[in-house]
Structure 1
């Protein structure tokens, strides 16, 4: 059975789902997106993703074609119609189809395009939790507004391929000597029991999982320092990890070929993953 996807108000078999070649998401990456995780058939952190979606749309002066309540219902319908128990829902909103290609934004009477689809994935029992991830560092060559979750993902995709070519799992991007984030995740190091991660700004995505993990870490009386850190500092850390909607909290055990600690997933990251999953499942909808 093919997936049922959502396109502009309709639920369709994926083979019948179509978007115009003149859609600005296709022509200009003039679009924003969100990814929510599904565990046990329930949506993780929906409110946080909905709020960030609104912020991204506002920052790009883009209309929102759907209310938060209706968006939640679409998520539930996709879970139900695709019998999804564990995986993700991808959401994308573009500025729509103005009928031709033009750099200038179309008038407000052009309706944005909205698309959602499901992806099945093994999130809870990801084998990388046991082994930890290995990463390399690469120069950050993205545009300056990384705090807006746009579909301009060409360089992160290239960074991921650089990591794959190097035989590792991911790349941490570096700008002005300091780590910004991973190709699709926020980055952290742990030194002497202190969790260090870059402070919020235009340089990084304001991760929904990041916010939750830091709140849980604070509640667990873990020390947190939000500031930029260098790749050399990261290589000397006791442990490291990443966070994202689909990986939750994932240990990092090697950076540029340098093993961290004993080369195994660190206690802090594994404990935070445990806390995050426990608390998130309580609040899932």
Structure 2
């Protein structure tokens, strides 16, 4: 029998089989909770400062009475990485408004928030999908209008991923008012005929990706042209290349949309280059 993971729950490190939260927790009752996912490479936390900054913003946008102590959270992350022997993988953090009797109104601010963290071992660097590329399908974006807040309201993205799987694809790109917003759990990009990287600009319509920010900065440092604007599925199908970015996928090429090949249907050189640049930055 394999050794159990150690998880963190409200100040305690416990085996996962002993980890519990209240049935009255608002994360369970109302999805009144936010989360972050930090990649681990070589036992090192990736872009941790950016994830904490976004967590603080999410907490503020939802008026959660939760203190976000960066030093404390870093210590918890590092302790879990050590205890679970994570060389490569992910650390998930979930923060809820806490447990209170069921009521649509927020409970009194004296309610203690619930903080849970756990790890997953996962190959995030040597990911086979990065070599073969992903197939995606387009689906309507039916999520709420505050996608910039990283909440645990992930039912529709889950439904969309299942629909993509049913259609024989790896993921879905979501479309609203004729324009691609993002993938189900990643930011979406195309590369135009002249080599310009195009991705939707920041707004309430998309998650402000930490990996997105890092990759765009590296692209500009490399002298690549970046344009932040909306694009259609038809424009994506006609693009030279396409890819997505996220904390768990880094830079992941997309080789087809709705069955139509992007370019020649193989991983493009710019996506491959960007992934390489990003991985080099992680190792620095």
TM-score of Structure 1 vs Structure 2, range by shorter chain: over 0.9
Give, in angstroms, the shift of residue 63 of structure 1: 2.2
1:171 is matched with: 172
Give, in angstroms, the shift of residue 65 of structure 1: 3.8
- Runs of 4 or more, structure 1, over 6 Å off, are none
The CA distance in 2 between the partners of 1:236 and 1:210, in whole Å, is 23
The CA distance in 1 between the partners of 2:283 and 2:34, in whole Å, is 26
The CA distance in 1 between the partners of 2:64 and 2:283, in whole Å, is 32
Q: Does 1:126 align with 2:131?
A: no
1:97 is matched with: 99
Q: Does 1:155 align with 2:156?
A: yes
The CA distance in 2 between the partners of 1:48 and 1:193, in whole Å, is 28
2:248 is matched with: 246
1:265 is matched with: 267
Give, in angstroms, the shift of residue 280 of structure 1: 2.4
Q: Does 1:19 align with 2:25?
A: no
Determine which of 210, 213, 218 is the counterpart of 2:212: 210
Q: Does 1:232 align with 2:202?
A: no
| Contact 1:198 1:226 survives alignment (8 Å) | yes
For residue 21 of structure 1, give the secondary structure of its aligned residue in structure 2: coil
The CA distance in 1 between the partners of 2:105 and 2:276, in whole Å, is 47
Give, in angstroms, the shift of residue 66 of structure 1: 4.3
1:143 is matched with: 144
For residue 172 of structure 2, give the secondary structure of its aligned residue in structure 1: strand
| Contact 2:59 2:66 survives alignment (8 Å) | yes
Q: TM-score scaled by structure 2?
A: 0.98
The CA distance in 1 between the partners of 2:160 and 2:76, in whole Å, is 33
| Contact 1:24 1:31 survives alignment (8 Å) | yes
- Superposed, 1:9-158 pairs within 5 Å as 9-98=11-100, 100-158=101-159
| Contact 1:65 1:114 survives alignment (8 Å) | no
Q: Does 1:181 align with 2:188?
A: no
For residue 87 of structure 1, give the secondary structure of its aligned residue in structure 2: strand
The CA distance in 2 between the partners of 1:238 and 1:96, in whole Å, is 47
The CA distance in 2 between the partners of 1:275 and 1:66, in whole Å, is 31
User: Which deviations, in whole Å up to 9, do the C-alpha atoms of 1:7-42 show, x marking residues without a partner?
Assistant: 000000000000000000000000000000001111
Unaligned runs of 5+ in 2: none
Aligned length in residues: 281
User: Which deviations, in whole Å up to 9, do the C-alpha atoms of 1:55-101 show, x marking residues without a partner?
Assistant: 00000001224411000000000001001111000000000001x11
Q: TM-score scaled by structure 1?
A: 0.98
